[in-house]
């Protein structure tokens, strides 16, 4: 198997420059596009160090991890909404279009829920599948709105995440096409605590989509 091709760069969104890292499968067309978001204490570097970018590319997918506005190497960019409030759905739409991701699988931990949930509800045709990992802002939308979403969803949380894990699950379970992956012994950033289980569960879910 060819070595994954890792690269980094910036993309212009709403007149601002956002940093991103990318891993492409070597020597073949990608099977799926995966957009990796991150929490407030993290950045695209998290997915590089955890090897999630490489694992996805090894499996034949195109993986792109961005640094959200004001964080990581996008710290000079201004967020389109205050932290904890839903951002305009058009923000991630512009990101996906600028990167040429087409319908993408969106992986959304913690803080990034303020971006991914409005995107899912407003531009669902651009979301191939949704992988929320104990995201914030799930309580900002009614059960009826969740019930109208047909996007395949893998809800992920650590069983030690007693706050956001449980709270987000209680709202996200209203998504009709959902599965749940509980990482035992893992906290809020459960992918850091149990990387092998995280990668195995994510790859199995992506395989179902093809």
Chain segment 145-160, per-residue pLDDT in tens = 999 999 999 999 999 9
Tokens of 11: 């993309």
Among 33, 43, 74, 110, the one annotated catalytic: 110
Chain segment 110-121, per-residue pLDDT in tens = 999 999 999 999
Q: In Å, what is the CA distance from 208 to each residue of 53, 60, 83, 131, 201?
A: 19, 14, 34, 13, 11
When pLDDT is averaged across residues 179-206 and rounded to a whole number, the result is: 98
When pLDDT is averaged across residues 101-125 and rounded to a whole number, the result is: 97
**pLDDT greater at residue 2 or residue 14:** 14
Concerning whether 76 is annotated as a catalytic residue, the answer is no
Return the pLDDT at 29: 86
When pLDDT is averaged across residues 189-198 and rounded to a whole number, the result is: 98
Return the pLDDT at 8: 96
Q: In Å, what is the CA distance from 162 to each residue of 8, 9, 110, 117?
A: 35, 37, 13, 21
Chain segment 39-78, per-residue pLDDT in tens = 999 999 999 999 999 999 999 999 999 999 999 999 999 9
In whole angstroms, give the CA distance from residue 191 to residue 165.
13
Among 38, 161, 178, 199, the one annotated catalytic: 161
24-39 CB burial, b ≥16 within 10 A, e <16 = bbeeeebbbbbbbbbb
In whole angstroms, give the CA distance from residue 14 to residue 16.
5
Return the pLDDT at 163: 87
Q: Are 37 and 66 in contact (CB under 8 A)?
A: yes
Q: Give 2's pLDDT tier (boundaries 50, 70, 90).
A: low
Q: Give 11's pLDDT tier (boundaries 50, 70, 90).
A: very high
When pLDDT is averaged across residues 91-119 and rounded to a whole number, the result is: 97
Percent pLDDT > 70 in the chain is 99
Regarding pTM above 0.95, the answer is yes
In whole angstroms, give the CA distance from residue 66 to residue 75.
12
- The phi and psi torsions of 194 (rounded to 5 degrees) equal -135, 65
Q: Are 47 and 78 in contact (CB under 8 A)?
A: no
| Nearest to 195, CA basis, from 55, 68, 65, 61 | 55
Concerning whether 161 is annotated as a catalytic residue, the answer is yes
Chain segment 26-38, per-residue pLDDT in tens = 878 899 999 999 9
Among 38, 178, 188, 199, the one annotated catalytic: 188
Return the pLDDT at 210: 82
Concerning whether 110 is annotated as a catalytic residue, the answer is yes
Question: Does residue 5 surpass a pLDDT of 90?
Answer: no
Q: Determine the CATH number of domain 5-208.
A: 3.40.50.1820
* Residues belonging to the chain: 210
In whole angstroms, give the CA distance from residue 126 to residue 150.
12
């Amino acid at each position: 198997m060819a070595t994954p091709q890792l690269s980094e760069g910036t993309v212009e969104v709403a007149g601002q420059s956002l940093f991103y890292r990318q891993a492409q499968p070597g020597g073949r067309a990608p099977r799926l596009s995966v957009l990796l978001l991150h929490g407030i204490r993290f950045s695209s570097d998290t997915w590089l160090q955890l090897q999630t970018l490489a694992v996805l590319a090894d499996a034949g997918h195109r993986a792109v991890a961005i640094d959200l506005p004001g964080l990581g190497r996008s710290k000079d960019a201004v967020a389109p909404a205050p932290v904890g409030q839903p951002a305009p759905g058009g923000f991630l739409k512009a990101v996906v279009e600028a990167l040429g991701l087409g319908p993408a699988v969106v992986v959304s931990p913690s803080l990034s829920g303020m971006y991914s949930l409005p995107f899912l509800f407003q531009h669902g045709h651009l979301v191939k599948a949704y992988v929320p990992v104990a995201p914030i802002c799930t309580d900002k939308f009614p059960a009826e709105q969740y019930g109208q979403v047909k996007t395949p969803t893998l809800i992920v949380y650590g069983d030690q995440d007693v706050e956001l894990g449980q709270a987000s699950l209680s709202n996200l379970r209203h998504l009709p096409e959902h599965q749940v992956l509980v990482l035992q012994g893992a906290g809020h950033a459960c992918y850091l605590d149990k990387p092998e289980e995280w990668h195995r569960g994510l790859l199995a879910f992506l395989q179902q989509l093809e």
